[in-house]
Amino acid sequence: MTKLDGGCRCGQVRFRVTALPLVAMACHCTGCQRMTGSAFSLSAAIPSDGFAVVEGEPVIGGLHGATRHYFCPHCMSWLFTRPEGIDWFVNIRTTMLDEPARFPPFIETFTSEKLPWATTSAKHSFETYPPFEAYEELTREYAQSLAGNAD
Ligand SMILES: [Zn+2]
Ligand SMILES: [Zn+2]
């Protein structure tokens, strides 16, 4: 069974992942550049019942909009996102996992906004979001790639 722990920079907030991601991604959008203070964000979409905060109380930061970005209240690390109108998965920042290399990006989004020198190993690139009808095939292909690298 999957059991992966992660947390913020200072350790006040800890979370646990007990389900494999639906997909792992890098996002090059300027919002992610600003919130990470880096070239792109790294995340994995975890089914909601496979994600739990086990220590601390994350607070909302970022845009404080319909998409909720959760941060540690003390060190202000960006930990996970609950996208607008979606309750069946949580986007966790894979860099916050205790094994940060575990889920390399499979897709990359918003390459239209990427820094000219920023590259990732993602297999599929999209100028903005993938078209809605592409998700089923992408998640199927990603599940196969995870099965191929099973422990
Ligand atoms: Zn912290
Ligand atoms: Zn982004």
Task: For residues 88 and 44, give the distance between their C-alpha atoms in angstroms, rounded to a whole number.
Answer: 13
Structure tokens at 102: 């575990």
Q: Is residue 16 exposed (0-12), middle (13-18) or buried (19+ Cβ within 10 Å)?
A: middle
Residue 87 Cα to ligand 1 midpoint, Å, equals 24
Average pLDDT of the chain? Answer: 96
Q: Is residue 18 exposed (0-12), middle (13-18) or buried (19+ Cβ within 10 Å)?
A: middle
Section 122-147 average pLDDT: 95
Q: What architecture (CATH level 2) is domain 4-149?
A: Alpha-Beta Complex (3.90)
Nearest ligand, CA 13:
1
Q: Which pLDDT value is given to residue 58? A: 98
Residue 82 Cα to ligand 1 midpoint, Å, equals 19
pLDDT digits (tens, 9 = 90+) for 28-41: 999 999 999 999 99
Residue 41 Cα to ligand 2 midpoint, Å, equals 6
DSSP 60-94: EETT-SSSEEEE-TTT--EEEEE-TT--SEEEEEG
Residue 107 Cα to ligand 1 midpoint, Å, equals 28
Nearest ligand, CA 63:
2
Residue 72 CA, distance from chain mean position: 16
Nearest ligand, CA 73:
1
Residue 79 Cα to ligand 2 midpoint, Å, equals 14
Structure tokens at 58: 């994350």
Nearest ligand, CA 70:
1
Residue 33 Cα to ligand 2 midpoint, Å, equals 7
Characterize 25-57 residue by residue with b for buried, 16 or more Cβ atoms within 10 angstroms of its Cβ, and e for exposed: bbbbbeebbebbeeebbbbbbbeeebbebeebe
Q: pLDDT exceeding 90 applies to what percent of the chain? A: 95
Section 89-103 average pLDDT: 97
